[in-house]
Amino acid sequence: MAEVLLFHHAYGLTAGVRSFAARLEAAGHTVHVPDLYDGAVFDTLGSGIANAKKIGFDTVLDRGRRAAEGLPAELVYAGFSLGVLPAQSLAQTRPAARGALLMDACLPAEEFGDGWPAGLPAQVHGMEADPEFADSGDLDAARALVAATPETELFLYPGRQHVFADDSLPGYDENAATLLTERVLAFLTRVG
């Protein structure tokens, strides 16, 4: 079984992020879910992003690094939207990573050093018409990562919702979230 470090999105550590982690745990995986916002949870994506800007994206990254300290090196790093920032950074820079799960976001691999580590498997998930994913460069970064890394898979879902797998948010899409969860569980079985 895999051990996962799962980072929340800009809304904060919502009940939906916790329930997603619980589904992975029910399948036998160990999941750590740190709170990058010190308990703050926001009702809108805009207010959550404003909070991230206020505390600083470097602080988000630093809190993500600190969350990994003391955990085994052989982790799968996962993140929703804003949580992709620390997840992708750690997957690319912390030795012995087992994989990366990048949901609703993907950054160019060059953001975190010399590119994607050879042989590191990853999945990128996003809605094909989500403006936060498809129109902001994330989809292009995901396609570039897939083209350069045979171990990376890109899964696009119909719709335009951002953070569609969080069942506590209005943008939750049950069909897409179920399929995403099935794919994530298959990935964790392979890398675990």
Partnered with residue 122 across adjacent β-strands are: 100, 152
Q: Which domain holds residue 100?
A: 3-191
CA distances from 167 to 12, 64, 147 (A): 14, 23, 32
Three-state SS for 84-133 is HHHHHHHHHHCCCCCEEEEECCCCCHHHHCCCCCCCCCEEEEEECCCHHH
CA dist 123 and 18 (Å) reads: 20
CATH number at residue 110: 3.40.50.1820
Structure tokens given for 69 = 């300290």
How much is the pLDDT for 83?
Answer: 98
CA dist 12 and 126 (Å) reads: 19
Number of domains in the chain: 1
CA dist 135 and 14 (Å) reads: 25
- The model's pLDDT over 89-124, given as tens digits with 9 standing for 90+, comes to 999 999 999 999 999 999 999 999 889 999 999 999
- The model's pLDDT over 119-163, given as tens digits with 9 standing for 90+, comes to 999 999 999 999 999 999 999 999 999 999 999 999 999 999 999
